Amino acid sequence: MTDILAVEGISKSFGALKAIRGLSFSLARNEVLGIAGPNGSGKSTLFNILTKVPFGPDSGEIRIDGEAVTRLGPRHIVEKGLVRSFQTETDFESITVLENVLVSMPDADFRTGAAAAKARAREILDDFQLLDQQDRIASEITVYDRKKLMIATALACRPKVLLLDEPAAGLSRPEVAQMIELIRRINADGVSIIVIEHIISLLVSVSNRLMVLNFGELLAEGAPQDVIRDQRVIEAYLGPAAAHV
């Protein structure tokens, strides 16, 4: 079966800095792929390139469900089913939680009327245990609820592939456990997922496969339990001395 996402030899430079260097990988249907890597290794840049927000790759090819999308703009990428969340909260702070979901929904959802669209938005919020917060201004809800809201707005776009950039950053331990359950539930509903995290326990819990980036290149890839024990990975995170203790 065709991979839901295929990336071949993509690169991105900022002046002399090569942030992504000829990276190739694929995502199978219904797979959860974890991405780890030290700060500045190019993880968020990879999501930027894939979704064209704000830029695409300098070179290389991207295919969604077998279709070349390398030259499409951000809006069309979303329509093809590739949707991301951001590392920091990017909800619209001054409107309500419900309105945040409504403005993220595709036009097609409004064809049957605003009431039907609202009903769907409330269903999504209910799924995320955010329904009781629907009328609150987004800036007033907790960090955890804002993280959930950001994912809810991404799901409102009906993605085939969801890209999560550090969904658990800044969360408490119990909240991380809830986020793990949430990611599993989204995946069980048929959404393929790529998740970037520094919290390795989350990556090991949710990922079928784990990739580690270093200086914009693939350092290691495979079963999460194997990858986290890889000497090259330990060295990249902790320095050469750590690999030999």
Residues contributing to the site for Mg ion (CB under 5 A): 43-44, 87
Could you tell me which stretch among 39-47, 77-85, 103-111, 137-145 binds ligand ATP (CB under 6 A)?
A: 39-47
Q: Which amino acid is at 32?
A: V
Q: Binding of ligand ATP at residue 43 (CB under 6 A)? A: yes
Site string for ligand ATP, 72-111 (x = CB under 6 A): ---------------x------------------------
Are the C-beta atoms of residues 221 and 227 closer than 8 Å to each other?
Answer: yes
Q: Which is nearer to ligand ATP, 105 or 220 (CB)?
A: 220
- Please state the closest distance from residue 41 (CB atom) to Mg ion, in A: 9
Q: Which is nearer to Mg ion, 45 or 205 (CB)?
A: 45
Q: Which is nearer to ligand ATP, 86 or 128 (CB)?
A: 86
Which residues bind to ligand ATP, rule: CB under 6 A? 14, 17, 19, 37, 39-45, 87
